[in-house]
Amino acid sequence: MSWTRIRAIFRKEVREYQRNRSIVLTMAVIPLVFVAGPLINIFALPSEAGQQLRFEHILVYMLGIPAIVPAVIASYSVVGERTQGSLEPVLTTPIPREEFLLAKALAALVPSLVISYVVFIGVVVAIELFAQPGIASSLILGPDVLAQIIFTPLVAGWSIWVGMAISTKVSEARTAQQLGTFASVPSAIIAALIAYGAIAATLQLAMGAAVLLIVLNIVGWRVTSTLFDRERLIAGAR
Amino acid sequence: MISDRAALSVDHLSKRFGDRLAFDNVSFEVRPGEVFGFLGPNGAGKTTMVRTLGTLLTPSSGSATVAGLPLSAENGVEIRRRISVMPESPGLYTRLSVAENLECFAGLYELADPGPRIERALGAVNLAARAKDPCGTLSKGLRQRVSLARALLNDPQLLFLDEPTAGLDPVAAHDVHDLINGLREQGVTIFLTTHRLEEAERLCSRVAILNTRLQTIGTPDELRDRLFAKTLSVRTVGPLADPEHLFGGVPTVDSWRRDESGGYVLSVSDPAAAAPVLTRALVAAGADVLSIAEERQTLEDVYLELIGEDVEAGAR
């Protein structure tokens, strides 16, 4: 494993994101759309609702952001290079596919984590400042914050591998992004079901989910590497 | 038979995509320091050959040695470390500057102290002044140059150039030719695919002609000699009185015919020996000679002859 090669792709990816308006816009708009509705509802809650909220885990809903944002980026990663013709020159260098994919995944993960944590902090601050008295203390619970910190990279990682797996199989960037977003929806739905009490949030569930996501991330890397078939990606045939 | 000394040895190599044969049973060698031309019509298998030798595609059968290593999946990383491939399409990151593109590839080759290497590569293609320009703003010719600079970064033992002048205007193509000539003078081994025959004739020490199967291989002169009789073209003010008697008396002339413009085309075994004898015979016969010249077939003639024969054979 060469971190020099991984760093080269990572830096290139980050530079491209910074200069790609559509990606920047997508990264900015998705979290806003995701939190705007729930925040308005939270601000409208009366103080008395606080007692009921103590038994819910509304903030877990925010894990939908690391589920969706990286999927959009990751699903573009391979097919984007393929359509602009830059995949072939990269594959003629000594970088193995595992390193190439890991670099791409890290480049999608880092901005996704930054966005997810920043938006989460912003939401927490907004609730503290603008919600009715008693609402913030009921909503912002230590275990939920810890869950957000731990699960954000795990959920984002899983979405990235799913997005990249799709990206290796399709031949059109827009299709890849649509499928990637669609594939990330189940993770967001599970987070929402936990947030609104349809799935009981327990320590065992959290630990089980964490272990499962770690395994899925490792498997996701391996499976995506297997799907990354140089021959098909370059010649369009097998 | 694969030679240890060759920069590239290909032995009965074939590549098939399902039912479609890209190239079949191809064998050749490229010597170190040689510019080797790989010619063929569209769809002949040239790009597939480059991709196969560049470890992007797996051969269906046969074997090869690339930059001293047997072509295999296990050797893929090491082979790619020793070679460079300039694909037909530059494939640059258009949002990144020229220098940033090269920086990325310097990292992929794990070059120590990449700054001077990048400067040197840009200097070699006369692009040092455009280092900070975004690649998306460059003309096609300049993008090809960046692509060539990228291919030079790792000082490759063997450089594959796939149609390096495709789509370029004559001035940009001339610039690329100059760059290739410069690399040849530095001793870089180059495998050049093209269907520009004048390009191959100008740049390559040897050429191979491929049309799924290898049609022929040799220096342009060898191919001409192999395919065409050597000829002298004779022009006179008026028709000769008795050409049969005159040409029949010159020992090195094998046969003769009149061409469309009224001149005479003579098949000879040795043009250099035949020309003086023929000149004397013409003068002695009282002919008013305008010119006597050796007719040289171009590589294009060779190519058309071979590819035409192949098409005809396929039609039969």
User: Which CATH number goes with the domain that contains B279?
Assistant: 3.30.70.100
Of the candidates B55, B92, B108, which has its C-beta nearest A5's C-beta?
A: B108
Same domain, B43 and B144: yes
Query: At B266, is the secondary structure helix, strand, or coil?
Result: strand
pLDDT of res. B311? 57
User: Which CATH number goes with the domain that contains B17?
Assistant: 3.40.50.300
B253-258 vs B206-211, strand pairing mode: unpaired
pLDDT of res. B199? 85
pLDDT of res. B314? 56
B313 found inside a domain: no
Same domain, B130 and B279: no
Same domain, B139 and B254: no
Written as six digits, the tokens of B150 are 């990228």
Among B201, B224, B247, where does a domain finish? B224
pLDDT of res. A138? 82
Same domain, B120 and B180: yes
Q: Where are the alpha helices (DSSP H) in B112-169?
A: 114-124, 140-152
Give the number of beta-carbon pairs within 8 Å between A and B.
96
B302 found inside a domain: no
Which residues, 6+ apart, have CB-to-CB distance to B263 below 8 Å? B233, B234, B235, B236
What is the identity of the amino acid at B214?
A: L
Which residues, 6+ apart, have CB-to-CB distance to A133 below 8 Å? A47
B189-194 vs B61-66, strand pairing mode: unpaired
The H or E element containing residue B106 is helix B98-108
Predicted TM-score of the model (pTM): 0.81
Could you tell me which of B61, B55, B125, B66 has the C-alpha nearest to residue B90?
A: B125
Same domain, B51 and B26: yes
For chain A, give percent helix, strand, coil, nearest 5.
85, 0, 15
Same domain, B30 and B170: yes
B314 found inside a domain: no
- Summarize pLDDT for A88-113 with one digit per residue, the tens: 999 999 999 999 999 999 999 999 99
Q: How many angstroms separate the CA of residue B252 from the nearest CA in chain A?
A: 54
Q: What is the mean pLDDT of each run of 10 residues along chain B (316 residues)?
A: 72 92 94 92 90 95 94 94 93 95 96 91 87 93 91 92 84 84 88 86 89 87 73 88 85 84 85 85 88 80 71 56
Q: How many angstroms separate the CA of residue B57 from the nearest CA in chain A?
A: 5
Same domain, B216 and B135: yes
B20 found inside a domain: yes
Confidence of residue A18 (pLDDT cuts 50, 70, 90): confident
Q: How many angstroms separate the CA of residue B16 from the nearest CA in chain A?
A: 9
Which residues, 6+ apart, have CB-to-CB distance to A84 below 8 Å? B91, B93, B94
C-alpha A176/C-alpha A79 separation (Å) is 7
Same domain, B128 and B151: yes
Q: Which of A92, A97, A99, A102 to mutate to test the interface with B (most CBs of B within 10 A)?
A: A92
pLDDT of res. B1? 44
DSSP conformational letter for B134: B
Contact check, Cβ <8 Å, A8/B104: yes
pLDDT of res. B2? 45
Same domain, B83 and B111: yes
Among B205, B224, B243, where does a domain finish? B224
Q: Is the pLDDT of residue A33 over 90?
A: no
Mean pLDDT within A10-25:
88
- Summarize pLDDT for A113-147 with one digit per residue, the tens: 999 999 999 999 998 898 888 888 888 888 888 98
- Does ipTM come in above 0.95? no
B304 found inside a domain: no
Contact check, Cβ <8 Å, A90/B108: yes
pLDDT of res. B315? 52
The full DSSP string for B72-100 is SSTTHHHHHHHEEEE-SS----TTSBHHH
C-alpha A154/C-alpha A147 separation (Å) is 11
Same domain, B209 and B245: no
Same domain, B149 and B110: yes
B49 found inside a domain: yes
Which residues, 6+ apart, have CB-to-CB distance to A218 below 8 Å? none
Which residues, 6+ apart, have CB-to-CB distance to B64 below 8 Å? B2, B8, B9, B10, B11, B13, B52, B53, B70, B71
Contacts of A91 in chain B (CB under 8 A): 56
pLDDT of res. A4? 94
Q: How many angstroms separate the CA of residue A180 from the nearest CA in chain B?
A: 23
The more confident residue out of A217 and A194 is A217
Q: Which of B21, B104, B159 to mutate to test the interface with A (most CBs of A within 10 A)?
A: B104
For chain B, what is the domain count?
Answer: 2
Q: What is the span of the domain harbouring residue B16?
A: 8-224
Q: How far apart are the first and last CA of chain A?
A: 28
pLDDT of res. A107? 93
Contacts of A17 in chain B (CB under 8 A): none
pLDDT of res. B102? 96
Q: Which of A60-69, A152-161, B80-89 bottoms out in mean pLDDT, i.e. has the lowest? A: A60-69
Contacts of B94 in chain A (CB under 8 A): 84
Of the candidates A5, A7, A234, which has its C-beta nearest B56's C-beta?
A: A234
Q: Which of A12, A93, A231, A234 to mutate to test the interface with B (most CBs of B within 10 A)?
A: A93
Confidence of residue A215 (pLDDT cuts 50, 70, 90): very high
Reported for B163-172, long-range contacts at CB under 8 A and 24+ positions apart, including other chains, are B163/B46, B163/B47, B163/B88, B163/B193, B163/B194, B163/B195, B164/B86, B164/B192, B164/B194, B165/B194, B165/B196, B165/B199, B166/B88, B167/B140, B168/B140, B168/B141, B168/B144, B169/B141, B171/B141, B172/B139, B172/B140, B172/B141, B172/B144
B279 found inside a domain: yes
Same domain, B145 and B220: yes
Could you tell me which of A6, A9, A27 has the C-alpha nearest to residue A111?
A: A27
| Vertex A33: Cα angle to A29 and A37 (nearest 5) | 160
B266 found inside a domain: yes
Mean pLDDT within A26-36:
85
Contact check, Cβ <8 Å, A19/B103: no
